Amino acid sequence: MGIKGLTKLLADNAPKAMKEHKFESYFGRKIAIDASMSIYQFLIVVGRVGTDTLTNEAGEVTSHLQGMFTRTIRLLEAGIKPVYIFDGQPPELKKQELAKRFSKRADATEDLSEAREIGNKEDIEKFSKRTVKVTKQHNEDCKRLLRLMGVPVIEAPSEAEAQCAALCKSGQVYAVASEDMDSLTFGAPRFLRHLMDPSSRKVPVMEFEISKILEELNLIMDQFIDLCILSGCDYCESIRGIGGQTALKLIRQHGSIENILENINKERYQIPENWPYEQARELFKNPLVFSEKEHPEIKWGAPDEEGLITFLVNENGFNIDRVTKAIEKIKTAKNKSSQGRLESFFKPVANTSTPIKRKETSESAKETAIKKAKAAGGKKKK
């Protein structure tokens, strides 16, 4: 779930800390990406018609491979150097949350068989999406694929998001790309949202810098973490009746959760029993991650052409022409970006963030989108 409402909270209270950037401006940059999140999305959506997905001869799902393959090529073609981070063991505190998700999936499985009996297509599709789970096998498949592509893979000891943030803190990558706002709470200095979107949608890449967020909110990192816990995170409950806005007010007023608890009206606000906010804070502040020396060196290599053909074509039924063409793309992209990042390419574009709201009424949605795109494009340079 990430941090509840954090995007909106930042848009309202720290708009200058968010900047729009062009996808192309990340040429030559090393970017850390949480793999599980992507795999999950691919399994849900790639090639799905009803309950069917893309599969190989043996009937095993290949949607995640198709998705990971094409997306990674897109990144490489843009000159981006991705490194994928895989999840390890979840922390104890998150187990409760995971248990909830597990039972939801179980419910969905029941709903699914019910829907099957009735034969409602839409329901079948809806419920089957909810039963999707990223398995060990999916993860292993993707690791193998990425290694064959010459793209580095890191297996985190615990939370992938935390490992991503650590890589960014130590300067091994330029930024963390994710849709999960947790990255900021883990202290990723530079965080990108919607990195993958701009191709098909009109959403620009949104870049957050934690230092600017802290500056603009006038908080120190510890207070920001407390703010996130109060707003609602994966590790523990929050206080009913307190959302982002109120949390920010309270943190500004009292400085820490401890002080808030001392001063708050406990008649009005129910503090959860045995509230483990201190442990949650510790998980954000000092998460279990590998240091630079503890994980393999991050290197981008040449693709293993034979290996890719064996894996994708022979084992998973991919079309050989497509794979061959794709390999060519990888090689071309590699040559182009091997000189690294030309700084002259990268003119600092001073663009301010635009608060994102604006309601679109039914039919004019398309038009509005076009107008927006034009307006944004025109404003950027002057």
Partner DNA sequence: ACTCTGTCTCAAGACGAA
Partner DNA sequence: TTGAGACAGAGT
Partner DNA sequence: TTCGTCC
> What residues make contact with DNA under the rule CB under 7 A?
1-8, 40-42, 44-48, 54-56, 62, 65-67, 70-71, 73-74, 100-102, 104-105, 126, 129-130, 179-181, 196-197, 199-200, 232, 234, 238, 240-247, 268, 316-319, 322-323, 356-357, 359-360, 366, 370
Which CB atom, from 239 or from 295, has the smaller least distance to DNA? Answer: 239
Which CB atom, from 170 or from 199, has the smaller least distance to DNA? Answer: 199
In degrees and rounded to multiples of 5, residue 155 shows phi and psi of -95, 115
Which CB atom, from 42 or from 174, has the smaller least distance to DNA? Answer: 42
In degrees and rounded to multiples of 5, residue 82 shows phi and psi of -85, 145
Sheet holding 190-193, edge to edge: 18-21, 205-209, 190-193, 175-177, 30-34, 81-86, 153-155
Which CB atom, from 67 or from 150, has the smaller least distance to DNA? Answer: 67
One DSSP character per residue, 127-149 reads: HHHHT----HHHHHHHHHHHHHH
In angstroms, rounded to a whole number, what is the distance separating the alpha carbons of residues 61 and 237? Answer: 36
Min dist. Cβ of residue 4 to DNA (A): 7
Min dist. Cβ of residue 90 to DNA (A): 11
Min dist. Cβ of residue 361 to DNA (A): 8
What angle do the packed helices 35-45 and 160-169 form, to 10 degrees? 130
Beta carbons of 42 and 278 less than 8 angstroms apart: no
- Sorted by sequence, the CB contacts under 8 Å of residue 376 that are 6+ apart come out as 20, 204, 354
Which CB atom, from 1 or from 349, has the smaller least distance to DNA? Answer: 1
Min dist. Cβ of residue 19 to DNA (A): 15
Query: Following CA atoms 51, 55, 61, 65 in sequence, which dihedral angle do they give, to the nearest 10 degrees?
Result: -120
How many CB atoms neighbour CB 199 within 10 A? 10
Min dist. Cβ of residue 28 to DNA (A): 19
Which CB atom, from 159 or from 209, has the smaller least distance to DNA? Answer: 159
Min dist. Cβ of residue 53 to DNA (A): 7
Min dist. Cβ of residue 295 to DNA (A): 24
Which CB atom, from 104 or from 299, has the smaller least distance to DNA? Answer: 104
Which CB atom, from 200 or from 335, has the smaller least distance to DNA? Answer: 200
Min dist. Cβ of residue 237 to DNA (A): 9
Number of helices (H) and strands (E) in the chain: give both, helices first.
Answer: 16, 7
Nearest to 73 by CA among 307, 306, 311, 330: 330
Task: Give whole-number Cα distances, 215 to 13, 186, 343, in Å.
Answer: 11, 17, 27
In angstroms, rounded to a whole number, what is the distance separating the alpha carbons of residues 80 and 129? Answer: 31
